[in-house]
Structure 1
Amino acid sequence: MANHKSALKRIRSNEKKRVLNRYQHKTTRNAIKAIRLATVKSEAADKLAGVISMIDKLAKKNIIHANKASNLKSKLTRHVAALN
């Protein structure tokens, strides 16, 4: 167990950050899945801008790697463009 006040505070703050990061990552994954399951192009295109913003925020905070974010955005954009 931690012996210093600062170490106890670090444990508390790390747990808060971990929970928030997991929530944001899971929310983004669900939004990505919704775009991939969409069959109407206009519907998917409306969601795309919001999802790209969410992906950029995750990459900025180092929750996901910058290259993974780039790959996700590219694949989603190509998917939406291919819809009818």
Structure 2
Amino acid sequence: MANHKSALKRIRRNESARLRNKYQHKTTRNAIKKLRALTDKKEAESLLPTVASMLDRLAKRNIIHSNKAANLKSSLTKHVNAL
């Protein structure tokens, strides 16, 4: 158990940040799955900027690595262009 007041605060803060990061990461993964499942090009093109923005946000907050975000955005763009 933590011995300092600041350590207790840090534990609370870390837990809330963990839950927020988990929620954002899961939401982004679901959006990626939804985009990959689409067969309509118009719909996919409208969803792609939203997903790219979500990936950029995760990379900016160090939830995922910036290279992973770039690789995902690239592969999703290729997928949409191939439709």
**TM-score, normalised relative to structure 1:** 0.98
Task: Write out aligned runs for 1:49-60 (5 A).
Answer: 49-60=49-60
Residue in 2 that maps onto 1:25: 25
The answer to whether 1:66 aligns with 2:79 is: no
Q: Give the CA RMSD over aligned residues.
A: 0.3
CA displacement, residues 35-76 of structure 1 (integer Å, 9 cap, x when unaligned): 000000000110000000000000000000010000000000
Unpaired runs of at least 5, structure 1: none
SS of the equivalent of 2:2 reads: coil
Structure 1 segments of 4+ aligned residues over 6 angstroms from their partners: none
**TM-score, normalised relative to structure 2:** 0.99
Aligned pair count reads 83
What is the distance in 2 between the residues matched to 1:24 and 1:73?
A: 17
Unpaired runs of at least 5, structure 2: none
Q: Percent identity?
A: 69
What is the distance in 2 between the residues matched to 1:70 and 1:51?
A: 12
Residue in 1 that maps onto 2:42: 42
